[in-house]
Amino acid sequence: MAVSKAGFDSEKYLKEQSTEILNRVKHFNNRLYLEFGGKLIFDYHAARVLPGFNPNAKMQLLQRLKDKVDILLCIYAGDIERKKVRADFGITYDVDTLRLIDDLKDWDLSVKGVVITRFDNQPAATIFKNKLIRLGINVYTHRYTKGYPTDVDTVVSDEGYGANDFVETEKSLVIVAGPGPGSGKLATCLSQLYHDHRQGIKSGYAKFETFPIWNMPLKHPVNVAYEAATADIRDFNMIDPFHLEAYGKTAVNYNRDVEVFPVLKRILTRITDSSIYRSPTDMGVNRA
């Protein structure tokens, strides 16, 4: 009887993915803020749609890079206040953040700090902040970014990103993750970039998302499955119009990244005096 082969080569993926990330780090003078989308651990959706994919592949990836990595976790204060639940485990985002810190320790990875985003002294968020402090975890708060998204002059100023706590990091690769979408990962990356560039550190930003897979067809079953899995946050896949215009090539992205790209490009250009990205797909480092 023929033995079926797994369709996904996890070892090859880990090798190519780590190389791609390190190449992007080098491009930005050895200081990159990498926004980690999706589930950091127990990514059972990826394992279901990519036979052979290890649900803890991202943890394995971080272990390979751990000598070069600092990790920041973001959580939106409003999600704490509303007791938002992670559907696959049935636990709230604040509990999931604590669990994630413990899981990272189990993988010999430590968290540099937790950033509570869009913090406005909400009672439940304040309780969570104090709990983290009692546990000896570094906590930082970011308020709603003044002027965002239309007034870029204010956003990229001491009144905007400059008003946020700066997280001191030492490693060349800073992973910015969270319990789910809307945790404030992008804003945290941009805030850090602003502070770095004020200090003469020419850091950069990139994004790591497993799905949608940019070089597969829009209606490929893997990309359709991602779209179905994110219906609750109204994500949908689309052809990246900026990539098509810039390169004449088709690439798949999703609506939120495409919608925010014009603003993001303006902000990055204002912070860094240049922008290497011509499309949201350019920002990604995914090698799945």
DSSP H or E stretch at residue 176: strand 173-177
3-state class of 113 per DSSP?
A: strand
Helix axes 57-65, 10-27, angle to 10 degrees: 50
pLDDT of residue 42: 83
Q: Which CATH class is domain 10-210?
A: alpha beta
Which of these, 131, 203, 208, lies nearest to 167 by C-alpha position?
203
Q: Residue 33: left (phi > 0), alpha (psi -120 to 50), or beta?
A: beta
pLDDT of residue 93: 96
What does the block give as tokens for 35? 């926004």
User: Are residues 20 and 196 in contact, defined by beta-carbon separation less than 8 angstroms?
Assistant: no
pLDDT of residue 6: 56
Q: What is the rounded (10 degree) CA torsion for 91, 174, 34, 167?
A: 80
pLDDT of residue 5: 56
Neighbours of 278 (CB within 10 A): 15
pLDDT of residue 2: 46
pLDDT of residue 1: 42
Instruction: Tell me how far the alpha carbon of residue 31 is from its chain's centroid.
Output: 16
Domain boundaries, given as residue ranges, for the chain: 10-210, 211-283
Say if residue 231 is exposed, middle or buried (CB neighbours under 10 Å; 0-12, 13-18, 19+). exposed
Per-residue pLDDT of the chain (288 residues; tens, 9 = 90+): 444 555 788 899 999 999 999 999 999 989 999 999 888 888 888 888 888 888 899 999 999 999 999 999 999 999 999 999 987 788 999 999 999 999 999 999 999 999 999 999 999 999 999 999 999 999 999 999 999 999 999 999 999 999 999 999 999 999 999 998 899 999 999 999 999 999 999 999 999 998 899 999 999 988 888 888 777 778 899 999 999 999 999 999 999 999 999 999 999 999 998 888 999 999 999 987
User: Are residues 288 and 215 in contact, defined by beta-carbon separation less than 8 angstroms?
Assistant: no
Distances in whole angstroms, Cα of residue 103 to Cα of each of 24, 108, 236: 27, 9, 30
Written as one string, the DSSP assignment of 207-252 is: EE--SS-TTS-TT-HHHHHHHHHTGGGT--EEE-HHHHHHHS---E
SS (H, E, C) 51-89: CCCCCCHHHHHHHHHHHHEEEEEEEEHHHHHCCCEECCC
DSSP H or E stretch at residue 253: strand 252-254
**Cα–Cα distance, 107 to 110 (Å, whole number):** 9
What does the DSSP 8-state code read for residue 8? -
User: Are residues 223 and 216 in contact, defined by beta-carbon separation less than 8 angstroms?
Assistant: yes
